[in-house]
Structure 1
Amino acid sequence: MVTATLFFHSNIRFLRERRKFSQEDISEVLDLSRNKLQALESGKTKNPSVQDLIKFSEYFKVSVDTLLKVDLSTLGELKLKELQAGNDVYMTGSQIRILAITVDKENLENTEYVPVKAKAGYQAGYNDPQYLAALPRFSLPNLPKQGTFRMFPTVGDSMLPIPEGSDIIAEYVQDWKNLKPETPCIVILKGNQDFVFKMVTVQNNGRLLLKSLNSLYQPFEVNSEDVLEVWKYYKHQTDTLPEPETDLQQIKNLLVAFHSEVKKK
């Protein structure tokens, strides 16, 4: 038997402490006795009343579903501010979900690395904080402070000249509709499908057109329902040195430069 984990008691304590409120403060504002609040925060009250759920939901501007189902302590400060600013998926009815992340001791978001051996498990555990906590974590200098970043390995040559086996550092995309056409992205697909690193264009019908840089690979489309996550390319790292230019490449570069000069005239 699978039992759902509920986070209501830890969430209301977390939200109270995050605002640096005492139990007396919250008891007075929500018209609760101190003993009742202590019981709610400690989890001794296993089945809080609907009225109490609504009180906390309205006061903290977090939906009842989120208070129950999402461990808010794993979200980090940026995600909490977004959520309380009205981006709670359960309040807005949006299909855009809250991204599970891990944080360090200072409540700053980690950058997780998904190694090749963990790729199969990622599709099942991508939204599970316990799974993410088991992934290797690191920090890179000069990453933007805004945004959530993760590193994914690439397999295959569909994105040459980016070498096979490169590690892609990418930023989480919450709303795919904001992507510019042919944005390079890591796309996490459902089921038995793999990660793909492609140039992504969101079409008017909602489907995603995925195109390779390597012209030997044909573009293809996927339904938005088959996509778990989209991560926009930020940078990549590789241990492969670029190959020297061939004579044919040098001739091509000269022709391109000559063509540009002619157009200027």
Structure 2
Amino acid sequence: MKTQKIFFCGNLKFLRERKHKSQEELANILGIKRSKLAALESGQTKSPLPEDFLNISEYFKISVDSLFKIDLSSLSELSLRQLEAGNDVYITGSNMRVLAMTVDKTSKENLEYVPVKAKAGYIAGHRDPEFIAGLPRFSFPSLPKGKTYRMFTITGDSMLPFPDGCDVIGQYLEDWRDIKPQTLCVAILKGEQDFVFKQVTLKGDGLLMESMNKSYQPYTVPFSEVLELWRFHSYHTVEVPEAQDMQSIATLIREVQAEIKVIKGRR
């Protein structure tokens, strides 16, 4: 039987340093002596307790299997964040969500742009590095660092006042459990030829999709049908709002504020 290479010792030191913890600090968190942690990192202890592995796995949010079988120092920061979010090949198997992306010459992630003409191919090619590399891409200096973003062209009137044809920038969601009720998201769904831009809420074993245009009925999509979720960051359009529309919105806001004052005065 072929000997399996074990990466636990190196991974433990790598993860500790990635969190900027000293051996003393991490040992206190794990409830063990610093000397024991040093022995675990160096591989000098031959009989560690099972609970030590479980505590380390729980603290770093990475499965015991991955701690032993994967050289974590060889992974990209995005891959590490995916493991920490629960997208672990040893936990979720074939359901692991893998995001293809591109970087510039300084290894900074690009902002890939998925225009209308690329929509049909994106469903099949969203995991294909060659397809993603073929998308238009550029740098957007005002985006927060440490996250992954992508731009999608949205069509239709289901999300008015977002205009038809506007470009929405979304932040990639690794852990769908972070979604708050009615979070604006671009959802990439199996079998769809378009992107779904909706207000998304966790509901049982799926996601409730609601349009801002109330003439469209809400519906629920099972988790198994969702390929990617991108939380709304900003949108861009060449359409200029009509002055009458802005005046109507301002009037409505004033009316609501007046009603609130009346209600407060009755208490």
When the two structures are superposed, what TM-score results if normalisation uses the length of structure 1?
Answer: 0.67
Structure-1 residue corresponding to 2:32: none
Structure-1 residue corresponding to 2:228: 229
The alignment covers a number of residue pairs equal to: 200
Q: CA deviation at 1:81?
A: 3.7
Structure-2 residue corresponding to 1:186: 186
Structure-2 separation of matches of 1:251 and 1:124: 46
Maintained 8 Å contact 2:89/2:96: no
Structure-2 separation of matches of 1:127 and 1:169: 19
Q: CA deviation at 1:117?
A: 0.3
SS at match of 2:150: strand
What's the CA shift string for 1:162-193, capped at 9, x where partnerless? 11111000001112121001000001111244
Change (3 A) 1:97 1:234: same
Structure-1 residue corresponding to 2:92: 93
Structure-1 residue corresponding to 2:239: 240
- For the pair 1:170 / 2:183, whether they are aligned, the reply is no
Structure 1 segments of 4 or more deviating over 4 A? 83-88, 246-251
Structure-2 separation of matches of 1:148 and 1:136: 16
RMSD of Structure 2 on Structure 1 (CA): 2.8
- Give the stretch that moved more between structures: 111-120 or 240-249: 240-249
What's the CA shift string for 1:200-228, capped at 9, x where partnerless? 0110x211110011111111111111111
Change (3 A) 1:84 1:171: closer
Q: CA deviation at 1:131?
A: 0.3
Unaligned runs of 5+ in 2: 1-13, 15-41, 43-64
Structure-1 separation of matches of 2:208 and 2:214: 15
Change (3 A) 1:161 1:192: closer
Change (3 A) 1:229 1:88: closer
Structure-2 residue corresponding to 1:58: 69
Q: CA deviation at 1:248?
A: 6.0
Q: CA deviation at 1:146?
A: 1.7
Structure-1 residue corresponding to 2:208: 209
Unaligned runs of 5+ in 1: 1-18, 20-28, 30-53, 63-71
